[in-house]
Amino acid sequence: MVKRYLTSNQGAPIVDDQHSLTVGERGPILLTDTVYLEKIAQFDRERIPERAFHAKGAGAFGYFVPYKSFASLTMADFLQDPEKVTPVFTRFSLAGGSLGGADTVRDVRGFAVKFYTEEGNYDLICNHIPVFPLRDPLQFPDFVHALKPDPVANIRGGPVAASRLWDFMSLRPESMNFLLYLFSDIGTVKSYRTIQGFGVNTYKWVNLCGEEVYIRYYWEPCEGVECIDSKMAAQLAGTDPDVASRDLFDTIAAGDCVEFEMRVQIIKSELECEQPFDILDSTLIWPEHMYPLIPVGRMVLNKNPENFFAEVEQSAFSPAAIVPGIAFSNDRILQGRIFPYADTQRYRIGTNFLELPVNMPRKPVDNKIQDGPMRSRYSTDIANYLPNTLSCGLPAEAPEKGNPPQECISGCVGRQEPAGDDYYQAGYKYRNMSEAEKEHLVSNIIESLSQADEPIQRRMIEHFMRTDNELGCRIAQRLNLTP
């Protein structure tokens, strides 16, 4: 029998397809990781033309105003003055569904905000669930494949779909936190006005003195959080599949505003290694009793798009779009998101997607990048290179801010599992649920897991037992399996 092993598209053997190439255990991902680059670049190009992920969405324009100056924490211009009003565009979306999907199905909701700041665009990309199911971005295409219809019959529901989802999740125990949020009633909503937004990843704020803090972002709906149960979700999917999109549009069209409060959690950078868990692990929450939420400002959405395709479908976001005062941490998931978002848009929309009005910065762009399909901005300088003297060397002046903070990194380059096995933080969430919430969670899990193959069910029961013994027993009992 011929042995089978993983290979690249060129046929070269791949030893490890699950762990990105990093500098040491906690260092950044390297651009020399050809396994990751090939896998994510191929994944970015899987769909024409709808987004491979977060395909269906709705959006609105508005503005953001901070409550006070945060100059002591960040030099970001839009957070310096409580009188400064920054225009924004926000897109809400369904993560796993297609363009024709229903707004109420059990899924992750995207919550992406584009700040048109005076220092360039800042894209803050959030989900309505506070954790990610994976620790390494190299596994992300596999995760999405497990959520999408199977490649043989192209059917989303039923036993095959359930087995595919739970098979993948049962082999990734770090997904337990994510699963408890997804299968709670938070996983089904009918309004974008009443969902939370979570940055999920860990970023850095940097002030003018070069001092850094780690932060995580939160958006809190000013109308309060609301969700629906699975029965209502199924009913609306059949009678009003665009309910969340319509609700957002109609609310603003009626003259009402949709408001969210930005909040952050903060940890001093020098205290990173003193925390009881890995603060860069996107599968874990930062408990609020340890890291209180700090109100930052308010976002008001008050203007509908004039044309859905031009302003919502063609909107493009990327975690790589940051401004001075905001920096990347070595959060592995964040590191893995920096490249593929913009790469996806270059493929989906075109090389010059940033020239579309909804994506265009509100300040002049000055560089030597040129040409490509649909180019409309251009330079009349004859010197399209740097350095030069023919155009006075422009742009030549170094900005006052913009250099990323210096960071000393050392470690052995290799592919390795992140340290730690804190897979079952989700138990705290379960034990703090009301009895009604626990019952809904178990019922929602059973509705899906009961369709999966029995070996997969047993693997999941083991994880649920480790998360919380009561939870595992309740699920096992409902499946008529001995825990």
Rounded CA-CA distance 73/85 in Å is 19
Rounded CA-CA distance 293/306 in Å is 35
Q: Which amino acid is at 346?
A: R
* 180 in Cβ contact with 467 (< 8 Å): yes
Rounded CA-CA distance 161/8 in Å is 27
Annotated binding-site residue? 36: no
Closest CA to 166 of 143, 135, 139: 143
> Is 19 designated active site?
no
Which of 9, 19, 121, 127 is flagged as catalytic?
Answer: 127
**Residue located via tokens 């599968």:** 283
CA angle 27, 29, 34 (to 5 degrees): 150
Read off the tokens for 398. Answer: 């170094």
**Residue located via tokens 């860990």:** 202
Closest CA to 223 of 191, 263, 189: 191
CA dihedral 14, 17, 23, 26 (to 10 degrees): -160
User: What residues contact residue 125 under an 8 Å CB cut-off, 6+ apart?
Assistant: 110, 111, 112, 113, 199, 317, 318, 319, 337, 341
Rounded CA-CA distance 312/386 in Å is 36
Q: How buried is 330 (Cβ within 10 angstroms: 0-12 exposed, 13-18 middle, 19+ buried)?
A: buried
Rounded CA-CA distance 87/191 in Å is 23
Closest CA to 357 of 318, 303, 314, 320: 314
> Is 330 designated active site?
no
Which of 54, 128, 440, 463 is flagged as catalytic?
Answer: 54
DSSP structural state of residue 1: -
Mutual orientation of helices 140-147 and 34-44 as an angle, nearest 10°?
30
Q: Which residues are catalytic?
A: 54, 127
Q: Which residues are part of a known binding site for heme?
A: 341
